Structure 1
């Protein structure tokens, strides 16, 4: 083992050799201190069996292999495949990372053991995004989390509020058609990823701030393109999102290396979350002053108004401006990527399977027709379209893992011992592409979601049985399921109803290869032509 470790060390760059030596020395001291101070009763825990895992280095465990694998989540996949297990335990410098690719164990984790596993890890990246854990999704399980979840579920995501925001969403659904139609008239190539992100961004900004633009001097163009400042805002949102989770070494050696920016992730999340706030916060500050100092507006019109005006039983404001700002960053990074990713992959799979595309368009024509535009009220009847979205979630998730949970106390999963403080990672591709769960898992087949009992029921995008992950479940489950479903299905339905799609001549053969972030490795470029009467295409509304 020592010979192997020496060989590995000498093959690494010199700065990393020094880092590895320093880490090993410090970890040895820390571990020795823990062993000497550990109560005798705790030694019995060692007899309980952890999930299987690969052998590791002294002190550092499996961290060196994780650091040298790109993308890092691939390391867990390869190790679990070699171990032939659907639950594994990795030792990352003393932190137990439990990875799960079993639907049964995932259900156990988020149902039976939900109370035991509902914490969040204390990571620099999460702390930065959530402004010291003020937002709901990033906060540790406790009073702050419960307060923000209660506010969001009962107010921001209530039926009343979402109905209030329906007009804003409809404007952007119309703008989507106007934008694509203007591209057709100019014979422009449609970049599906860019277009989908513009739509998701515009809808989110309208629901958050009641407007499409983030600065008064940078309104979108008449065709629907992003202005310069909006582009910068959107890019920073995705850069912030891509830091979470990134399996950075600092996540597991934070006590020693917090602030060192070992692999660039700390600087990346600082810079980009600061950019996001530089656009969000002036709007929030202006609105707080309007409502709390100048008497407010005639009516609450968006999520910011909702947060600012909430009061507790004693008449005091329930949410502080800093909490609103932190929650807005979280809303931004949580609401745009899923619809955009789902849209691009779904269109690509449909073009690769023309019969699926034909069935989807036939359903829209039968349910909606060609004399009016598809609306949110049509979503319950578009079951085949939703089955396509579900199948895309299954085979092409937008992230490798569900946001990490942390064990609040010793517990068990799948009969294995899970120590307190373990990080729990449920694999999205590990579930959705698992041959033990799905027949022909790599085959795109929406019909599999319309079999059995599903034939007579309304299809939803929620997968409570954890056979794949669309929206997470349990105490940490996604609170935006309804609005996320609306954004996703309306975007796809408007695309298919409004236009005929084909690969752009310069695109080349259709490739379904994915990159390390699970996006299409080659962005989907298409040509379009209208399939509705000209008067049905809306004019752009800024």
Structure 2
């Protein structure tokens, strides 16, 4: 009896203490952005679990509260979500130094092999080291030009592959799996620049990806999808051993498959350099292996090399998603495809294929890419930022340790910035003839490559990959909806796992250039 009474008193005292701490937190941070009232200990995690995907719940909260900024307490972490360009500039321009770190998340830990890479490491010496290396050694303009031939090989392979598939039915063309094609193209480009190879196993006779390449790309995209999910243990760390979401097991599988294909290549290449069987760098991997620090010792460890090689594949998602959406939109609005094709025919002609040095002259094609990045970003959220000190944003108090998420699709579809924001209209980016069309958006009226210290240093490469992919597809082939689609593509978004088309795009392709233009058949 006495023990039960004592236990009850302890429990009541604990509950009262938690409630008081919660009240104290709310009073201390009374100027936080508006948001739902959190529960003790767990915050708004129960509501988050009932309302998936998270970005739709956050969007709904903002509409209910009539605000562009909301603060959601998850466990003991404040998560601030932003949906306007004005506020995005406050965080990433005016207060960039404060919000230049990354939070420790389980998905980031796995994807970066323990925060060894440039993109996901928190602000600190490791991030500074890897970013300096990434900017100076991998993504410098000279280095990107150095690998042009490898990108050209894959651009040629792209049109040859589609042309080969169409050749099976020379009169009527062929149905092409656009999603598979564009994702494999992007992976092939990175694979060629990183490892100097297109295939992990035997070369396919028609140039198409084999099972190994398909599996590799699947796991890369799965990992990117999991990185955009909210994991309970990120906010209640003491629950991690339960893996309630099943996310840790999924991430572990992704890493295992990726290492299966990457590690033998990396380890063999390191041995080649050690045995002096390799003299000159030929790709990104060679660069990573041969870099030395000021004392002449290897700059990167083997684990850092492996981690960074994996991260190099992460930018595959933006170009592939943008181009899949553009082709779908063009099929539904043939006038847009016709205008893009006429521009290419005028600038390039029909006797050769689009090259990277044509890109500056293809303003309408760039406008199509800008419009796709605005309306159809690949993920709802930009990679999370973390405040390293207290800040004041638009009159709100943002405490140190707050996670900040920018809602890309809401920013790009803001009716206060864009007329008819849900309409795909590339010409909106060509209204000022005195301005050169650029795919980047420094004002953050839409978010393609983020900004500030955490902006993507690979932007020039991403632009080149996207433009070459789109240019070759539009120039080389006519595209129409499959016969069973009544000349229209379903443009609904996926309900979970990103903002992809709900169904992979399949389209009818037919060559439109002289046969000799497509190169030697594979």
* TM-score exceeds 0.5: yes
Q: How far did 1:59 drift?
A: 3.1
SS at match of 1:372: coil
Report whether the alignment pairs 1:514 with 2:502. Answer: no
Give the 3 Å change call, closer, same or farther, for CA 300–29 of structure 1 in structure 2: farther
SS in 1 for 2:121: coil
- 1:468 is matched with which residue: 446, 461, 467? 446
Q: Give the superposition deviation at 1:43.
A: 7.5
Q: Kindly state the Cα deviation for residue 52 of structure 1 after the two structures are TM-superposed.
A: 0.9
**Alpha-carbon distance between aligned partners in 2 of 1:393 and 1:31, rounded to the nearest angstrom:** 48
CA distance in 1 between counterparts of 2:106 and 2:337 reads 44
State yes or no: 1:352 paired with 2:341: no
Q: Shift in Å at residue 539 of structure 1?
A: 2.8
SS in 2 for 1:458: coil
Aligned pair 1:118/2:100, yes or no? yes
Residue of structure 2 in register with 1:529 after alignment:
510
| Aligned pairs for 1:386-535 within 5 A | 386-452=366-432, 455-508=433-486, 509-516=488-495, 517-535=498-516
Gaps of 5+ in 1: 1-24
- Do the aligned partners of residues 197 and 415 (structure 1) sit closer, same or farther apart at CA in structure 2, a change above 3 Å counting? same
Q: Mark the CA change 1:31 to 1:312 in structure 2 (over 3 Å): closer, same or farther.
A: farther
- Contact preservation (8 Å) 1:224, 1:540: no
Cα pair 1:119 1:140 within 8 Å, conserved: yes
Instruction: Say if 1:368 and 1:77 are closer, same or farther in 2 by CA, change over 3 A.
Output: same
Larger CA deviation: 57-66 vs 464-473: 57-66
Q: Secondary structure at the match of 1:259?
A: helix
Distance 1:220 1:75 in 2: 46
Q: Distance in 2 between matches of 1:70 and 1:50?
A: 24
Q: Deviations over 1:305-351 (max 9, x none)?
A: 0111111221111111110111111112x221111111110011111
Structure 1 residues 124 and 30: alpha-carbon distance in aligned structure 2, compared to 1, 3 A threshold? farther
Instruction: Report the secondary structure of 1:400's partner residue.
Output: coil
Contact residue 175 and residue 539 of structure 1 kept, 8 A: no
CA deviations on 1:378-434 (whole Å, 9 max, x unpaired) are 001111101000000011000000000011111122220001111100010110111
**Hey, what's the Cα distance between the residues in 2 that align with 1:71 and 1:31?**
33
Who is 2:7 aligned against? none
TM-score, normalised via structure 1 length: 0.89
SS in 1 for 2:227: coil
What is the alpha-carbon distance in structure 2 between the residues aligned to residue 299 and residue 462 of structure 1?
34
Could you tell me how far 1:48 is from its partner in structure 2? 4.6
- Select the residue among 281, 295, 304 that pairs with 2:285: 304
Residues 18, 40 of structure 2: 8 Å contact kept: no
Distance 1:43 1:79, change over 3 A: closer
Q: Does 1:95 align with 2:73?
A: no
Q: RMSD of the alignment, in Å?
A: 2.1
Three-state SS of the structure 1 residue aligned to 2:492 is: coil
Distance, in Å, in 1 between the alignment partners of 2:67 and 2:466 is 34
3-state SS of paired residue (1:519): coil
1:31 to partner: Cα distance? 7.1
Deviates more, 1:64-73 or 1:423-432: 64-73
Pick from 312, 316, 322 the counterpart of residue 342 of structure 1.
Answer: 322
Following the alignment from structure 1 to structure 2, what is the Cα–Cα distance between the partners of residues 423 and 43?
Answer: 17
Partner of 1:145: 127
* Alignment coverage as a number of residue pairs: 504
Given that residues 101 and 385 in structure 2 are in contact (C-alpha distance below 8 angstroms), is that contact kept between their aligned partners in structure 1?
yes
Partners of 1:57 and 1:200 lie apart in 2 by 44
Residues 350-387 of structure 1: CA deviation (Å, up to 9, x unaligned): 11112111111111011101111110000011111010
> Does the Cα contact within 8 Å between 2:103 and 2:122 map onto a contact in 1?
yes
1:381 alignment counterpart: 361
Q: CA deviation at 1:34?
A: 10
Contact 1:157 1:480 in 2 (8 A): yes
Please give the per-residue CA displacement for 1:270-293, whole angstroms capped at 9, x wherever unaligned. Answer: 1111211121111111111111x1
Summarize the Cα distance change of 1:114–1:395 in structure 2 as closer, same or farther, 3 Å threshold: same
Shift of 1:298: 3.3
TM-score, with length taken from structure 2: 0.93
Q: Partner of 1:468: helix, strand, or coil?
A: coil
Does residue 157 (structure 1) correspond to residue 139 (structure 2)? The answer is: yes
